[in-house]
Every structure is written in C-alpha cells, then in structure tokens.
Amino acid sequence: MSRDEATRAYYDDFSKWYERERGRGYHGLIDDLEFAVAEPFARGKRCLEVGCGTGLILERVHGIASEAVGIDLSPGMLAKARERGLTVHEAPATKLPFEDGSFDLVYSFKVLAHVPEIEVALREMARVCAPGGTILAEFYNPHSLRYLAKTVGPAGKVSETRTEAAVFTRFDSPARIAAMIPAGTELVGFRGVRVFTPLARAVTVPVLGRLLSKVEHLAVDSPLARFGGFLVAVLRRGR
C-alpha cells in the first residue's frame, strides 16, 4: 500500500467519527478560531480549501465568498462535504487540479502537518493562488502547549480501530516555516490558534472553558501567536 493509499484509508475511517465532537467544545472552538483567521481574506473572493474534510469550515467560507471549492484525499470525507452541497474534488495536496492563479485565497487547516512532501504542497498552493492573493498555511508548532500535550499523552482515537499514531505527523517551528515558503511568496506574519488551552478537555469545564474561548480569540493576532499549537503562516503571492 502506498503512502497516499494508507493516508486515504486512515481518513476514510476517520470520516465516520470526524463530526462526533465538531461544532461544540474544543473542536468547535478550534474551527471558530480558524474561520476567524480566514474570514477577512475570504469575503467576496474565490477560495480554495486544501484538505476540506467534511466541509465544516468550507461551508462557512461558502457563505461569504464569491466561490468556494475544496479538495481532499478521502472519498469518505468528501461524501459528507457533498451532502452539504459543496463543490469538492478528490485530489492530494501535492497535485491540485486547477490552473495557475485560479483563486484569491488558498488555505489549509489541520492538513499540511500530515503531508510528508509539504514543500511540494506549499508550491502547489502558491501556484493556484492569483497574483496579489493570500495563502493561509497551518502548521503544527513544537513551541506550544499542544505539542507538550501530544508528546506526553496517549494518541487520540479516530475510529474503533485506529489512533492518531497511524498517520504521518510533523511539527514545524516558525523558523523552519520561514525557510519553506515557496518562491514568489512573502511571509506576512503568523496567526496562532490554541495558544493557552493546555488540554482539549479543559474547554468543557464551564467557567474555564468560557475564559479560554475569550483569551484564545484575543491571542490569535497578538505577539503570543507564535506559541499557537496550530500556527497559521499568512503568505502573500507576488504580483
């Protein structure tokens, strides 16, 4: 079985459980924060989500964009996105099925950290981004509380038979990210998602959960953003 086939099987399996905790609690908070990062760049624009999963964020972008398209490697994930009425295609992040300069915003959340050929994926995202457009590329950050929790804690279950340990995962520091940005793009800055939340279950504690939600929204575009467990690089495509 090739690496792509193994990854596809992992996410097809995951698709059965993927939305069990979405839309609320910790996962709802992360989706809210990621959408907040994308929203100002997406409004009224042609948008592509690389690794759209079941379409939870893409659906929200669809509501504010002039065009919203998604790609994903997993037929199981895509089936659920199509049930939402979204325009999606089966394709890997390393080979996007679009012409050069097709989109004003190209974004990817929770996906690039699972792509071994990440620099190829970043070049593809830059290729399909229009001159003057924006690329939002989310990485997993080793300089974060999330990294510590992932290091010391057990791998989370994604289905009855699989855990997160079954998929390739990488962590990239801000310095490493800066060294990987594609030619023809400029690193404008970083946005940080999950800066303060030590463990996912902390968000379910009533008073603490509300406090974490408030401070996480404040931290996204602050000097503390570089400590986000999910680190979003904001790239501008050259004209």
Tell me what pLDDT residue 10 has. 82
At residue 1 the predicted structure's pLDDT band, cuts being 50, 70 and 90, is: low
Q: Given the DSSP bridges, would you call strands 185-193 and 87-90 parallel, antiparallel or unpaired?
A: unpaired
Task: Kindly state the average pLDDT of the residues 217-236.
Answer: 97
Output the average pLDDT for the chain: 93
User: pLDDT at residue 151 above 80?
Assistant: yes
The whole-angstrom separation of Cα 110 and Cα 103 is 20
Q: Given the DSSP bridges, would you call strands 87-90 and 103-108 parallel, antiparallel or unpaired?
A: unpaired
- Separation of CA 185 from chain center: 19
Q: What is the DSSP string of the chain?
A: --HHHHHHHHHHHHTTTTTSSTTSHHHHHHHHHHHHHHHHHHTTSEEEEES-TTSHHHHHHHTTSSEEEEEES-HHHHHHHHHTT-EEEE--TTS--S-TT-EEEEEESS-GGG-TTHHHHHHHHHHHEEEEEEEEEEEE-SSSHHHHHHHHSPPPBSSSS-BGGGS------HHHHHHHPPTTEEEEEEEEESSS-SSGGGGGSHHHHHHHHHHHHHHTTSGGGGG-SEEEEEEEE--
Q: Which segment of 11-15, 99-103, 156-160, 161-165 scores lowest on mean pLDDT?
A: 156-160
Of 102, 94, 140, the residue nearest 120 (C-alpha): 94
- Separation of CA 10 from chain center: 17
Tokens of 70: 């998604």
The whole-angstrom separation of Cα 133 and Cα 193 is 22
Q: Given the DSSP bridges, would you call strands 67-72 and 129-140 parallel, antiparallel or unpaired?
A: unpaired
Task: Kindly state the average pLDDT of the residues 82-92.
Answer: 97
Q: Which segment of 48-62, 154-168, 194-208 scores lowest on mean pLDDT?
A: 154-168
Tell me what pLDDT residue 138 has. 98
Give the residue numbers spanning the domain of 92. 3-237
| Radius of gyration of the chain from its Cα atoms, rounded to whole angstroms | 17
User: pLDDT at residue 162 above 90?
Assistant: no
Of 153, 171, 158, 55, the residue nearest 113 (C-alpha): 171
Task: Kindly state the average pLDDT of the residues 87-114.
Answer: 97
> Are 26 and 139 within 8 A, CB to CB?
no
Q: Which segment of 113-117, 132-136, 161-165, 197-201 scores lowest on mean pLDDT?
A: 161-165
Tokens of 102: 């097709």
Single pTM value for the model = 0.94
What's 130's domain CATH number?
Answer: 3.40.50.150
How many structural domains comprise the chain? Answer: 1
